[in-house]
Amino acid sequence: MKEEKKEEFSLMKFVPDDSARKIFAKVFDRQTIESVHALASKGYFDVLEFVISTGKEAHVFRARDRTGNFRAVKIYKIETTDFKRMSQYIEGDVRFGRVKKTRRSLVYAWTKKEFKNLLLLHKIGVRAPLPLAFQNNVLVMEFVGKKGEASPRLKEKPLEDVEKLHSTLVDFLAKMLFKAELIHSDISEYNILNKNGELVVIDCAQAVLNSHPEAKSFFERDITNISNYLRKKGLKITKESLMDEIKAKKALFKK
């Protein structure tokens, strides 16, 4: 084996075997491998076991730490990222205003943004995976699942109790808006997991503060998605009625 390969493989103790290491080295660039290695060295996880999901923007792995706890590790892709789309959600957010205009630095800011948003959701009591650490384009968080099996999305496994579904979603949206002034900006049945009847909001990198110039249109889009979904589940809900229900929670959730 070439010296260079040997060194790279020694950075990949978090991948279970040599054939998986070969694939990993093909898929990820050197800096990404170093970031995963750094987080593993700090003990956030020991092995990346397998891929749970591969999307346009990121791979999500199930990982395990030394004592057997499961983790989810989300690795954002550098090369195939939609630069224009990401910039839109970063530039107007006062927490991130100035980010260097390279693909890499944008993806790093994106990862940090997801970490911060997840933490904020925790602070205000909206159920989301607890973020544990991030480095560059790699985020480690709580694994949402049972006995190692990742929870399905609401899309695949709807809540049986539609009234609970309705009230939980109103609660989530109102808490985000009033307690944190945060707009998820991509909420739908695809980005909510159903953990045995408990709803868990995921995929939060694009969430922006309400002071973002486009916040209002992002919020309207979220409301449209959720009201369409609730209507499909048989509830008599319109965009306007959902908006009213959320507004009615303002006094309860005001900061």
Ligand X SMILES: Nc1ncnc2c1ncn2[C@@H]1O[C@H](COP(=O)(O)OP(=O)(O)O)[C@@H](O)[C@H]1O
Counting Cβ atoms within 10 Å, is residue 157 exposed (0-12), middle (13-18) or buried (19+)? Answer: middle
203 is catalytic: yes
Q: Which does 121 bind (CB under 5 to 8 A by kind): ligand X, Mg ion, none?
A: none
3-class DSSP state of 50 = strand
Residue whose CB is less far from ligand X, 60 or 126 = 60
Residues 193-212 that bind Mg ion (CB under 5 A): 203
- Nearest alpha carbon to residue 111 among 52, 58, 63, 62: 58
Residues 6+ apart with CB under 8 A from 205: 76, 89, 110, 111, 113, 114, 117
Counting Cβ atoms within 10 Å, is residue 98 exposed (0-12), middle (13-18) or buried (19+)? Answer: exposed
Residue whose CB is less far from ligand X, 12 or 118 = 118
Residues 45-104 that bind ligand X (CB under 6 A): 52-53, 55, 57-58, 60, 72
- Choice among 46, 93, 171, 186 that is catalytic: 186
Q: Can you tell me the distance from the alpha carbon of 233 to that of 121, in angstroms, rounded to the nearest whole number? A: 26
Q: Can you tell me the distance from the alpha carbon of 252 to that of 120, in angstroms, rounded to the nearest whole number? A: 18
The residue from 35, 88, 136, 191 that contacts Mg ion (CB under 5 A) is 191
The residue from 48, 81, 118, 129 that contacts ligand X (CB under 6 A) is 129
User: Interface with ligand X includes 225 (CB under 6 A)?
Assistant: no
Residue whose CB is less far from Mg ion, 22 or 59 = 59
User: In degrees rounded to 5, what are phi and psi of residue 73?
Assistant: -120, 120
Residue whose CB is less far from ligand X, 129 or 246 = 129
Q: Which residue is nearest to ligand X (CB)?
A: 55
The residue from 96, 121, 139, 145 that contacts ligand X (CB under 6 A) is 145
Q: Which does 174 bind (CB under 5 to 8 A by kind): ligand X, Mg ion, none?
A: none
Counting Cβ atoms within 10 Å, is residue 125 exposed (0-12), middle (13-18) or buried (19+)? Answer: exposed
Active-site positions read 186, 203
Footprint of Mg ion on this chain (CB under 5 A)?
Answer: 191, 203
Footprint of ligand X on this chain (CB under 6 A)?
Answer: 52-53, 55, 57-58, 60, 72, 129, 141-145, 150, 153, 191, 202-203
